[in-house]
Structure 1
Amino acid sequence: MLRSTVGRTAVHTPRAVRTYASAPTPVQLAFEKQAPGNLTSSKAPLVVLHGLYGSKQNWRSLAKGMAAKLGREVYTLDLRNHGHSPHKRECSYEDLAADVNAFIEKEQKLDDCIVVGHSMGGKVAMALALGGCDALSRLVVVDIAPGVGKISPEFRAYLDAMKEIDDAKVMSRKEADTILQKTEPDLGVRQFLLTNLDRASPSDPYQFRLPLHFLSNAIDEIGHFPYAPGEKVFEKPSLFLKGSKSKYINSRNIPIIKQFFPDSQLETLDAGHWVHAEKPKEFVELLDRFCKE
């Protein structure tokens, strides 16, 4: 599976932070909703945010299991410039968080929810919590910390490979996979990236539904984080889930997590960066326990 979606923690460079009020008009996000059986639950629903190059599709199977086990509705979102959500040049974490805030409070009118974010989606979830979202009562962040770092080189290479596939106008996923093999030897990673391929009809070539030009321009922004330690605090309960084989939550940034999220707990599972995909049963059990506390 994908190895990482953001770079390692680095020194934060202060910059002006926009609020939701000053951010550009939020976009309406595509989403799927999983219900716990045929019942309507009165429990706080989960709102799930994917990582870079991901989509709600990657969470579909697990979201069904989460809804059944937790007895809660589960919303899986496509962040802007991903999945079936709108494409915009602006895609800072303030922009992404404003989109999610609008989805929660204006579109769905939720008065209580638990937000779960993996990697880049985890940074969006943290920015949402720190920027202020009244409905957000609990936060779950999967294998990422609130730090600044460079995007791993392979993620820039993936963009180049996807552009090459678009230019080749391939007529089969096998052709696309052959091109992608030159950049990424791991089958699981290639399969993940190729979930973004689509075409209008069987007679049309496959194209990536990701706006590659916007993502190329924003790749450095994705490694950023909008707040400096001590600037904002989210005092509600937070759960950070770390993969034992991943370095994205580490001894250097755990103290920073506590500065932003004083009421946080850290759990570790025997997994890499994709904790929820590698250990789905254990992941859902930890979620269930945290939600009941």
Structure 2
Amino acid sequence: NAHFQNVSKRNITAVNLSFHCNEVNKSSDKNPLLVYHGLFGSKFNWRVLSTKLTEATLRKVYTLDVRDHGESPHTGILTYETMAIAEKFTNWSQFRWSCNVSPEKVEKLIVVDIGIKTLSTSPQSSIVNINLVKAMKEAIGSVPSGLSLSESRRKVDEHLKSFVPDEFVRGFLLMNLKKSNEGIAWKYNLSAIERFLRDNSLNDLKLCAPFKGEVLVIHGGMSDYVRTDDYESIREWFPNCKFECIPEGNHYLHIQCQQEFLKRVLLFINST
């Protein structure tokens, strides 16, 4: 693990992002790949895939922790602007913020199962809501002191079952538990994420000039984040966009459909 030193823009305080770099064994002048996770994710989620990407493309692959996630600093200021301008690394929404800043630095953009439509954060229609954040806070508060990390994970898992019925999604969250001086803690800054959701910053996507570079949107057929009827609105901002749907994939297709995901992504990366 290491940290990127970033520049400050628009009076936003830059932070050192935690990252892991997969090095190339052979000499290569190819541009590196930057992997930027989504909400509640971490660079750890991409550790296996990033190794395979390096081997198949002969490119360095940097997996990053966004601010207030993983091992990056907890700043308490979590917005698309701070993520895109201060950190200057890109996923989908962050890229829309920064595409007016330096689009020439982006060779290609790959978007994994996320669109540009308004996302629901109501407890009735989405697990990504304030009630989940509150439950995550309560869960670590219910863990007795002195337990090992694995025992603590089991306790937290039991507490979260009513909020997150899907065992895979709970496991995804539980990877971000750690031991601390106080006992057990989340690697997330849950207070910052709670404000992000309460203020509806999740949907605060400021419009900018269309990005005319090559874009791949790869999504799961079993996921609601991107549907075929979203293609037209996405092309308004990314006119040179290609779409790939993995029919059996869900939101976590890069993990659960990894072989097919990797095949389609590599075709896009290696195309000229």
Write out aligned runs for 1:88-127 (5 A). 88-101=75-88, 117=91, 122-127=92-97
**Counterpart of 1:187?**
167
The alignment of Structure 1 onto Structure 2 pairs a total of residues equal to: 252
Over residues 50-91 of structure 1, what are the superposed CA-to-partner deviations in whole Å (9 max), with x where a residue is unaligned?
Answer: 111110011111111111112211000000110011112221
Larger relative contact order, structure 1 or 2 (CA cutoff 8 Å, min sep 6):
1
Q: Measure how far apart 1:134 and its partner are.
A: 3.4
1:158 deviates by: 2.1
**Is the counterpart of residue 196 in structure 1 residue 169 in structure 2?**
no
SS at match of 2:183: coil
Gaps of 5+ in 1: 1-19, 105-114
Q: How does 1:226-245 map onto structure 2 within 5 Å?
A: 226-228=205-207, 231-245=208-222
Using the aligned pairs only, state the percent identity. Answer: 30
Match of 1:214 in 2: 192
Residue among 130, 133, 144 paired with 1:159? 133
Alignment check: 8 A CA contact 1:143 1:249 kept: yes
Equivalence for 2:3: none
The answer (yes or no) to whether the contact 2:96–2:205 under 8 Å persists in 1 is: no
Q: Give the structure 1 partner of residue 267 of structure 2.
A: 289
Amino acid corresponding to residue 21 of structure 1 in structure 2: K
Query: Which residue, out of 206, 223, 231, partners 2:202?
Result: 223
Distance in 2 separating the partners of 1:88 and 1:279: 34
TM-score by length of 1: 0.79
- Please show how residues 1-293 of structure 1 align to structure 2 within 5 Å: 21-22=9-10, 24-36=12-24, 38-101=25-88, 117=91, 122-153=92-123, 154-156=127-129, 157-170=131-144, 171=147, 172-200=152-180, 205-219=183-197, 220-228=199-207, 231-270=208-247, 271-293=249-271
Q: CA–CA distance in 1 between the matches of 2:256 and 2:110?
A: 17
Change (3 A) 1:40 1:91: farther
> 1 CA distance for matches of 2:122 and 2:107?
32
Cα contact 1:150–1:223 (8 A) shared by 2: no
Deviation at 1:254, TM superposition (A): 1.4
* SS across alignment from 2:180: coil
Distance 1:177 1:135 in 2: 42
TM-score by length of structure 2 reads 0.85
State the Cα deviation string for residues 218-254 of structure 1 (Å, max 9, x = none). 11444214233xx411011111112111122224431
User: 1:218 is matched by which residue type in structure 2?
Assistant: F
Deviation at 1:95, TM superposition (A): 0.9
Task: Report the Cα distance in structure 2 between the residues aligned to 1:23 and 1:131, rounded to whole angstroms.
Answer: 15
**Structure 1 stretch 272-281 or stretch 125-134: which is displaced more?**
125-134
Distance in 2, matches of 1:239 and 1:152, equals: 29
Amino acid of the residue matched to residue 22 of structure 2? Q
Q: Which amino acid aligns with 2:26?
A: L
Q: Please report the RMSD computed on the Cα atoms of aligned residues, expressed in angstroms.
A: 2.0
| Distance (whole Å) between structure 1 residues aligned to residue 100 and residue 258 of structure 2 | 28
TM superposition shift of 1:169? 3.9
Amino acid at match of 2:173: L
Q: Deviations over 1:87-130 (max 9, x none)?
A: 122211111112331xx6xxxxxxxxxx6x4xxxx322343335
Distance in 2 separating the partners of 1:291 and 1:255: 23
User: For 2:55, what is the secondary structure of its paired residue?
Assistant: helix
